Structure 1
Amino acid sequence: MTDLHFPWRRLLLCAAPLFALLAGCDFGSHKAAAPAVPTYTAVNWDALPATSDDDLLAGYGAWYSACKRLANDATWGPTCAQAPALPATPAQVRDFLKNTLQVYGLRSADKGDKGLITGYYEPVYPGSLTQDAEHPVPVLGVPDDLIIVALDSVYPELKGKRLRGRLDGHVLRPYDDSAAIQTKGVNAPVLAWLRDPMDLQFLQIQGSGRIQLDSGRQMRIGYADQNGYPYKPVGRWLVEQGLLKKEEVSMGRIRDWATANPQRVPELLASNPSYVFFSTRPDSNEGPRGSLNVPLTTGYSVAIDRKVIPLGSLLWLSTTRPDGTPINRPVAAQDTGGAIAGEVRADLFWGTGDAAGELAGNMKQSGQIWLLWPKGQALPGPH
């Protein structure tokens, strides 16, 4: 997962052509989405749901794994410097957390302290390094003509936002949407070839994955960039077309529909204008790297809305698995995602492969989130 789009207020209401260049503009509506405005409510430690010693140590370990990356971070650097190195006992961890961090419950203005907790994973799909009749679907790297412009030096409120487009003479125009890329192609390196266009779509949704080659090697790829359009779930299109009910949407049901209706797959894919470009990553058995550029930990790393929760933060999550089994544990905010927007919102990383994909695809649970924040530090603000 990574930052595919950003819900944010429209700054240039009269400059309509610019919208397609700004990741995060809502092309499907003339009304801007309301920004996430969380309420951070200080609570006592005993307000947190109890967790097991194993979950405590695993969640703490996931957070601590990013401390080298956070060494110079103004908020988390000092806390990391004080953190006991692993292995640590549950008692040591509890004492450290209580002595250094304040607990804040997250609330939204309209939904209170409950929010949506989903899941994601690292898929593995069969593929090839060469194109043939069985492998017609290209996995693209970053196009040569994709232009990326950062505006935050002039507009600080746009920190983290990027213009994406291509030059037409001296004019920067919107880049192609997914439908145009799929029909016309782009001048981009091809990293590998897949069998099924739905495999590519799910790779783009997850933001990283592995390609199983005939040689036995699993080639790892990860998010490199994006075409500048907001992500729209293909499942939403199926619901809008009356082809699935909202409560039926899952990765499995989407794939089943695509298998049964191959002639309509291009139409389905075109409903999501976003298109993700990839880069190769070193082969290893560690988890994929999220937006914080540290390996994700199965069951203990989450993607969040960074306007609410800064990357690197330690959270306490209370939700359930799809079968109703409770999950109460500390988790590390180490990733972001285009569909992860809101005050009480998280995407839990479930690992690699089909079993993880089954969990992730069925994960649409209600849950609560508490932010564990360094004492004496100002709470997160708009950024």
Structure 2
Amino acid sequence: MRRFAAAALVAASLAACATPEPAPAPAPAGPDRMVLQPLSFDQLAGWSEDESARVLPALLKSCNRITKLPLDKSVGFEGVGGTAADWYAPCAAAQRVADGDHMAARILFESWFTPWRVTNGGRADGLFTGYFEPEIRGSRQRKAPYIHPIFGKPNDLVVTGSGEQAIGRMENGRLVPYYTRAEIDKGVLIGKAPVLVWTDDPVDLAIMQIQGSGRVRLDDGSVIRLGVAGSNGHKFVGIGKVLKDEGKLGADTSMPAIRAWLKAHPEEGRTLLGRNPRYIFYGFNTGGEGPLGTEGVALTPERSLAVDPRFVPLGAPVWVDSIDPAGRPLRRLMVAQDTGAAIKGPVRGDVFWGAGEAAFQVAGKMKSPGRLVLFLPRARSPRLAER
């Protein structure tokens, strides 16, 4: 489960509500199956134009994690990324590239990595969406207008095993589903869960829950970060789909348009938000650098990508060839550092655009076709390199 965004299924929301771009072809019948096709670097459109050194801070964070693993530890599902030992030399080389030296960064990747086209059973086209780190207003004390609680994990939340179906609460000696969003919004958790902070806008809070983690700018001027600590275990229902089914939106069904409608119709919006039974609980994120992805490293704006780890190894560099919400080519190096419950399949990505309103405006409108190239060390362990 994505520590930052996946826990809240951002991509499901955006995929259900973003302004349509040219849609990828229908997915192939049958289960997803990654097939890797070798490429040369001159086959990557835009390769020489990307400011490649900008990806190195993200890569070095992942290198720091991978190189602490046992030497024979497999990287990625079924060892598609070789072993941790295969990454030592590329990671050491990355440390020697000077900040801002894009030519040296390209030489690094061309020298130490092999690009592989990722396909789903031979089909190269996929879908790319976006997510961001929200910033909302808050106060440590309940006082007008800060009257909406942001809850930590409740003391009566029971997790009996792995998987969200095992989450609930005890009632009359038996485990029952936990309270829904609608019930929580009516105040059922007061006294059952700690209130970490109070916010002034339930719509902004709901959007933060869709994204996952976020920042709260307090009324004393300080900023705190909150990370996902758990959920109530209910299935996510995208508010975009709810509003579309109700005929509440016009041609613009992007996330910014959805937010505007919800704020313009607070009472009806609160009722419709309640149709998403899923609710996110928070804890304080004291890391400081930024929101944490599933890999356990702070995400880098415009260079971190959420992927399906059943196919793409976390920590691996990837080349994204897609389109941004303004219709411009989006061709750049990123690093697979996060996951998402709605990010499914080999050719599927969710671009982390950063924090705040500007990032929201981009992430909330992104739903673009694209292709993905996976960079793997040239010297992968032979027993794992075959796929």
Q: TM-score range by the shorter chain?
A: 0.7 to 0.9
Give 5+ residue unaligned stretches, structure 2: 10-28, 76-82
d(CA) in 2 for partners of 1:2, 1:161 = 16
**Residue 168 of structure 2: which of 160, 165, 172 is its match?**
165
String of CA shifts for 1:47-97, please: whole Å, max 9, x gaps.
Answer: 222334662111233122221222205326224421211434545544443
Q: 2:226 aligned with 1:226, yes or no?
A: no
2: distance between equivalents of 1:223 and 1:379?
Answer: 35
- Aligned counterpart for 1:122 among listed residues 103, 119, 133: 133
The one of 168, 185, 204 equivalent to 2:188 is: 185
- Residue 45 of structure 1 deviates from its aligned partner by 3.0
For 1:241, the aligned partner's letter is E
Report which structure shows greater RCO (CA 8 Å, sep ≥6): 2
Distance 1:283 1:334, change over 3 A: closer
Q: CA deviation at 1:200?
A: 0.9
Aligned residue type for 2:188: G
TM-score (norm 1): 0.81
1:342 match: 345
Q: 1:87 is matched by which residue type in structure 2?
A: V
1:87 aligned residue: 97
Write the deviation string for residues 86-135 of structure 1: whole angstroms up to 9, x where unpaired: 4345455444434443322222359x322221111111111111112311
Identity of aligned residues (%): 34
Shift, 1:170, TM fit? 5.2
The answer to whether the 8 Å contact 1:138/1:193 transfers is: yes
Measured in 1, the distance between the counterparts of 2:254 and 2:385 equals 36
The structure-2 alpha-carbon separation of the partners of 1:54 and 1:103, relative to structure 1 and needing over 3 Å to count, comes to: closer
2:20 alignment partner in structure 1: none
Which stretch shifts more, 334-343 or 134-143? 334-343
> Following the alignment from structure 1 to structure 2, what is the Cα–Cα distance between the partners of residues 222 and 296?
13
Rounded to whole Å, the distance in 1 between the matches of 2:386 and 2:171 is 40
State the one-letter code of the partner of 1:118: T
Return closer, same or farther for 1:238/1:165 CA change in 2, 3 Å cut-off: same
**Which residue matches 1:195?**
200
Does 1:97 pair with 2:109?
Answer: yes
Which residue of the partner structure matches residue 45 of structure 2?
49
Of the candidates 229, 238, 250, which is equivalent to residue 254 of structure 2? 250
Q: What's the secondary structure of 1:362's corresponding residue?
A: coil
Cα distance change, pair 161–38 in 1 and its aligned pair in 2 (3 A): farther
Change (3 A) 1:60 1:202: same
Matches within 5 A, 1:367-378: 367-375=370-378, 376-377=380-381, 378=384
2:215 — aligned with what? 210
| Residue in 2 that maps onto 1:263 | 267
Amino acid at match of 2:252: E
Deviation of 1:35 (Å): 5.4
Question: Among 131, 141, 156, which residue is 1:145 paired with?
Answer: 156
Deviation at 1:278, TM superposition (A): 0.9
Deviates more, 1:139-148 or 1:333-342: 333-342
Distance 1:232 1:177 in 2: 12
- Which residue is equivalent to 1:28? none
Aligned positions of 1:63-74 closer than 5 A: 63-71=59-67, 72=69, 73-74=73-74
Compute the displacement of 1:5 (Å).
7.6
> What TM-score do the two structures reach when normalised by structure 2?
0.80
Paired with 2:364 and 2:212, the residues of 1 have a C-alpha distance of: 14
**Cα distance between partner residues in 2 of 1:306 and 1:332:** 12
Cα distance between partner residues in 2 of 1:185 and 1:39: 49
Distance 2:235 2:157 in 1: 16
Q: Report the Cα offset of residue 297 of structure 1.
A: 0.8
CA 1:188 to 1:35, structure 2 compared with 1: closer, same or farther past 3 Å?
Answer: farther
Once residues 291 and 307 of structure 2 are traced to their aligned partners in structure 1, the CA distance between those partners, rounded to angstroms, is: 16
Relative distance call for 1:368 and 1:182 in structure 2 (3 A) is same
Q: Is the 8 A contact 2:134 2:208 kept in 1?
A: yes
In 2: Cα distance, 1:244 partner to 1:107 partner: 35
1:122-163 alpha-carbon deviations (Å, 9 max, x no partner): 111111111123112111111112222445xxxxxxxx8773
